């Protein structure tokens, strides 16, 4: 009985070690990490893969503050190796002078609505009591007339969202959160029109700041759900 228990213990220890080894390949938890400029790192310990600098790299190693991988692919083709600085700091990764923050995945897309004959004009939209322009031609949403408490925080003409805006389709793009005295914080969002194309809702893990620095992305952020309402149509 004692020998069986010992053998079972060795098996459990081996499994734990293998799991720890996989997760410790780069010293950071699995998932996505996003830099302030939108650059992205992805870690998948199950596949022994790191997505970094636009490449998918298998079997990476970390030693003496550097991440190295000799088997990297781009669009299905061999693309050489990677040798970059690497430091894990809690929910963040610092590499080559950039800081990447852990970011939750986007929500699963809702079913796209059927094409609606009504096409709203670019102007005549409201977002949190500010007038905005929703323009599918330029694939952007910009501020037109700001509510009083946003003056000094953001200027008219500032881009609030850039990405897909075609009614009747699922949308994917980048939203921007504003804070007085700070650079806009970008983050990915997914969206869809509803109510005969008169309501547009964008959802994504919004930024959480400490001062001007983005320290996390979360669906608890006040920027995680953006609603735009068309007020000119019937």
Share of the chain residues as helix, strand and coil, in percent rounded to the nearest 5: 10, 45, 45
pTM attached to this predicted model: 0.80
DSSP sequence for 42-109? EEETTTTEEEETTEEEES-EEETTEEEESEEEETTEE---EEEE-EEETTEEEETTEEEEEEPPPPPP
Token digits for 106?
């986007």
Residue-wise pLDDT tens for the chain (234 aa)?
444 444 444 444 443 343 334 345 689 999 999 999 999 999 999 999 999 999 999 999 999 999 999 999 998 888 889 999 999 999 999 999 999 999 999 988 766 556 666 778 899 999 999 999 999 999 999 999 999 988 889 999 999 999 999 887 789 999 999 999 999 999 999 999 988 889 999 999 999 999 999 999 999 999 999 999 999 754
What's the confidence (pLDDT) of residue 141? 98
Q: Tell me the three state secondary structure of residue 196.
A: coil
The predicted structure's pLDDT at residue 20: 37
Cα–Cα distance, 49 to 63 (Å, whole number): 16
**Mind listing the pLDDT tens digit for each residue in 159-199?**
999 999 988 778 999 999 999 999 999 999 999 998 888 99
């Amino acid at each position: 009985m004692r020998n069986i228990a010992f053998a079972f213990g060795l098996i459990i220890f081996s499994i734990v070690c293998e799991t720890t080894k996989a997760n410790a390949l780069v010293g950071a938890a699995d998932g996505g990490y996003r830099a302030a400029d939108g650059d992205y790192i992805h870690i998948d310990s199950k596949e022994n893969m790191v997505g970094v600098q636009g490449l998918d790299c298998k079997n990476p190693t970390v030693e003496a503050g550097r991440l190295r991988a000799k088997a990297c692919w781009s669009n299905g083709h061999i693309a050489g190796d990677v040798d970059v600085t690497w430091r894990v700091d809690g929910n963040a990764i610092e590499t080559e002078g950039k800081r990447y923050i852990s970011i939750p995945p986007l929500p699963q897309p809702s079913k796209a609505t059927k094409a609606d004959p009504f096409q709203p004009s670019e102007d005549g939209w409201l977002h949190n009591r500010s007038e905005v322009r929703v323009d599918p031609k330029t694939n952007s949403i910009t501020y037109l007339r700001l509510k009083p408490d946003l003056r000094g925080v953001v200027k008219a003409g500032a881009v609030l969202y850039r990405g897909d805006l075609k009614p009747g389709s699922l949308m994917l793009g980048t939203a921007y959160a504003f804070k007085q005295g700070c650079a806009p914080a970008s983050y990915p969002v997914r969206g869809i029109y509803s109510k005969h194309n008169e309501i547009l809702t964008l959802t994504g893990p919004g930024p959480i700041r400490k001062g001007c620095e983005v320290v996390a992305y979360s669906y608890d952020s006040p920027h995680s759900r953006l609603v735009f309402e068309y007020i000119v149509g019937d």
